[in-house]
Amino acid sequence: MERADALPSPERTWSKFLNGQFSNVYLTSRSILTGLTYAFGPVTAYLGYQHLSAHTLGGTFNLPHAETHAIVLPDALAYNSAVADEAMGRIARALNVDSAPDGLYQLNEELGVPQGLREIGLDEVDLDYACKVALSNPYWNPRPIEEEPLRALLQRAWEGARPTA
């Protein structure tokens, strides 16, 4: 069940952020990541893959919160894109791109966001454990969270690879 119609507009929020309408935000890469989370968080909050992965990684491996979310989000969007068309469309429109997952990946590149979890301190040998921990504490997700796709998402996010559905 898609709930994008009940969410604040990422288009307006992201536009306000880019136009400097949030007085307490300074344009550093950290604040840009915060802006991304603020703008798109309401649309993606119900995409459990995103929160499951980012919170598991951050909490278990002490990774920086905003960067972890920014790195994982394109893959989480790609995974859920088949069942969240309206939300993906809203994000794509806000970024003026055709594909929300690829658009966020490109934006991360442009902003200098670390491209992979390996760049922020996660060791590849920890991916299997991260998957196990994530599956033991599932979040609601519009598409069922399964071990093999979650492990593949974590691998791509670790490598910094482009998102795939």
Q: Is residue 13 part of a domain?
A: no
Per-residue pLDDT reduced to its tens digit, 31-88 = 555 555 555 554 554 456 666 667 788 889 999 887 888 888 888 889 888 888 887 8
pTM of the model: 0.75
| Best mean pLDDT range from 3-12, 85-94, 96-105 | 96-105
Expressed as residue numbers, the domain containing 152 is 28-159
In three state form, how does the secondary structure of the chain look?
Answer: CCCHHHCCCHHHHHHHHHCCCCCCCCCCHHHHHHHHHHHHHHHHCCCHHHHHHHHHHHHHHCCCHHHHHHHHHHHHHHHHHHHCHHHHHHHHHHHCCCCHHHHHHHHHHHHCCCCCHHHHCCCHHHHHHHHHHHHHCCCCCCCCCCHHHHHHHHHHHHHCCCCCC
Cβ–Cβ under 8 Å, residues 157 and 53: yes
Tokens matching residue 125: 């040998």
Q: What per-residue confidence (pLDDT) applies to 83?
A: 86
Q: What per-residue confidence (pLDDT) applies to 28?
A: 45
Structural domain count of the chain: 1
Residue 101: which CATH number?
A: 1.20.1090.10
Collect all residues with Cβ–Cβ distance below 8 Å to 14 and sequence separation of at least 6. Answer: 35, 36, 39, 40, 94, 95
Report the Cα 107 to chain-centroid distance in Å: 12
pLDDT band at 158 (very low <50, low <70, confident <90, very high): very high
Q: What per-residue confidence (pLDDT) applies to 86?
A: 81
Q: Is residue 92 part of a domain?
A: yes
Does residue 29 carry a pLDDT above 50? no
Q: Is residue 21 part of a domain?
A: no
Q: What is the DSSP letter of 116?
A: S
Q: Is residue 37 part of a domain?
A: yes
Q: Is residue 15 part of a domain?
A: no
Q: What per-residue confidence (pLDDT) applies to 156?
A: 95
pLDDT band at 12 (very low <50, low <70, confident <90, very high): low
The residue that leads in pLDDT, 92 or 118, is: 118
Interatomic CA distance for residues 70 and 110, integer angstroms? 13
Q: Is residue 164 part of a domain?
A: no
Q: Is residue 3 part of a domain?
A: no
Per-residue pLDDT reduced to its tens digit, 111-157 = 788 889 999 999 999 999 999 998 888 777 788 888 999 899 999 99
Q: Is residue 137 part of a domain?
A: yes
